């Protein structure tokens, strides 16, 4: 991986435990870090974000090498991992902190995100109209350390075994068949 060529993208697709775990398995992803973006409070805590009053979304910030994995491939994974037609929720996780959102850094990235939404919507993977927000990136606040790699440390936690685990297995099957996973993830 060319450390000088790395780029970042930040987006939210529901609970960050699943999204972060999956992105960390992809070839070309140096890191996926759980955190918060899009709100009005500096250095928010998980408890504060969970109230829905800070305006933040649970997000994952991905650092990747575009010579190995493209922005479009990352968007395909993003739309695979969550239902972008659900407003402010993913399954039983309800609240603005679980919204579908892509944070773009400039106009070119915004246009790529618009195209990715159109492509995914046209695929029919998720029936209905996408409600994914496009928002100018301002700040990323890393989540508390215990959230980083949460599923790997807590696979038997009830939410992880009931919700996150099955999503990860579906992800591994699909993207493993496409050859996109690191050797230690397959």
Q: Catalytic positions, please?
A: 15
Task: Give the whole-angstrom CA distance, residue 78 versus residue 69.
Answer: 13
Tell me which DSSP letter residue 90 carries: E
Q: Encoding tokens for residue 92?
A: 């039983």
Distance of CA 52 to the CA centre of its chain: 18
Buried b (16+ CB within 10 A) or exposed e, 64-75: bbeebbebebbb
Instruction: Give 69's Cβ-side CA count (13 Å radius).
Output: 29
């Amino acid at each position: 991986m060319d450390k000088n060529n790395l780029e970042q993208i930040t987006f939210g697709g529901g609970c960050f435990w699943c999204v972060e775990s999956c992105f960390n398995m992809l070839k070309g992803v140096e890191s996926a870090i759980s955190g918060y973006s899009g709100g009005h409070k500096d250095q928010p805590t998980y408890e504060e974000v969970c109230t829905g009053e800070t305006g933040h979304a649970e997000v994952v910030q991905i650092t990747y090498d575009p010579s190995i994995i493209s922005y479009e491939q990352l968007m395909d994974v993003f739309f695979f991992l969550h239902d972008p037609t659900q407003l402010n929720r993913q399954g039983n996780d309800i609240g603005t902190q679980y919204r579908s959102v892509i944070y773009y850094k400039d106009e070119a990235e915004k246009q790529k995100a618009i195209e990715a939404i159109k492509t995914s919507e046209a695929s029919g993977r998720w029936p209905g109209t996408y409600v994914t927000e496009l928002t100018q990136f301002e700040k990323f606040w890393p989540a508390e350390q215990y959230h980083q790699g949460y599923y790997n440390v807590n696979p038997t936690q009830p939410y992880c075994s009931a919700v996150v685990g099955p999503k990860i297995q579906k992800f591994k099957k699909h993207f493993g068949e496409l050859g996109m996973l690191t050797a230690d993830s397959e």
